[in-house]
Chain A
């Protein structure tokens, strides 16, 4: 990972564009080796169907689905947290009334999934699934439990940094995004090939939430803030076009 990182840094210093997304083939993440395309992607202009997105609204999602701590009869174990922020497009406009889906491990680092065999306890009061529709200002707020790190078999002593999976729909289907939000100061960042597959340090930093004491609620929960930017298909192209031509 260090070699790829310094090679990427050198390319950037030579005037290369920052790599906004992870590399599709990133050998330190073993599962990517046989699963990334070897041909360059074909550049396409989105047509009307791709410039629209499925319609979601408050009739699709119950308001209580944004609170992952009230889905069972008792309180889940772990550190209660509030995660809030805005979903914006490439021009900084709010992405309104769009669906956000999240899922995560519990505070012990265990998913409610039959193939997760990590010998950590399941929490009968925590499933780890939530949904929310963004507000008129693009904002969202979730109440949940801070997930724990967990081991995986990518390499010896591999542990994922604590993270929450986010799935987002924008106003165009080409804005569709699935990503992961991380927590500040995690000691596992430098060792995690999924996080490090984003070779540009500033780009991967965008996946790290910040602790926000104004979001924190007394006697109740700590607060984190994380904003998400879904760019339209053309906005990055225009910037790069200006730079190069």
Chain B
């Protein structure tokens, strides 16, 4: 095509999702990767928090993960979940308080690596979305994990705990996303 005559394919810039995505992007069943009755169902929840400690009421959180056996789903239908097929993708809008909740399974290890859920955050005021990982390991195991996991290793020791989904119930894990300030979440750049 003439626009690409220079045969240079430069990335299209990102822009904020804005405050009004709410009538377009959330969909029924988006936060439920599995049914709550699934024997391995867990709750993965948290709050998206700004630099003043306030929850974001206009953030959108997406997750992408393997199933409990470490299998990556290739099933179609992530936008029309049937309640049975695990597609590995979920989308949740935050509440007025900035909270999000997914019903999913604990991710299994892919290829022997540490199990984690990939988390993407969009929001009004975020000009470019943010990627992070919620590792399903105990905080006390982080030092050992840093030996084997390149990402954890490259993060300063005092910030590593922001990458852990913390058990706050028998089948519940909490992962807060702090965009700025004390305890700022470690965000990842895959373009470098």
* Residues in A lying within 8 Å of B, measured CB to CB: 20-24, 26, 29-39, 41-50, 52-57, 59-61, 86, 88-92, 99, 101-103, 105, 111-113, 115-116, 127-129, 131, 165, 167, 173-174, 176-180, 194-195, 197-198, 203-204, 206-207, 210, 225, 227-231, 233, 236-237
Contact = CB atoms under 8 A, between A and B. Distances in A.
Given A43-B192, A113-B20, A177-B12, A92 B7 contact: yes
B17 A237 contact: no
Contacts of B78: 54-56, 60
Interface string B121-147: 011111111110000000000000000
B12 A230 contact: yes
Interface stretch (B35-43, B151-159, B168-176): B151-159
Interface in B51-101: 51-52, 54, 56, 58, 62, 64-66, 72-80, 87-89
A101 B180 contact: no
**Residue among B1, B25, B155, B190 having the largest count of chain A Cβ atoms under 10 Å:** B190
Nearest to B123: A35
A47 B113 contact: yes
Contact of B10 (A34, A128, A197, A206): A206
Contacts of B54: 34
A106 B150 CA distance: 47
Contact of A41 (B25, B125, B188): B188
B179 A35 contact: yes
Given A38-B184, A173-B64, A176-B129, A91 B9 contact: yes
A67 B54 CA distance: 39
Given A54-B88, A111-B23, 7 more contacts: A21-B11, A22-B128, A42-B151, A44-B154, A61-B79, A179-B12, A236-B11
Nearest to B111: A48
Given A22-B128, A38-B180, A42-B189, A229 B11 contact: yes
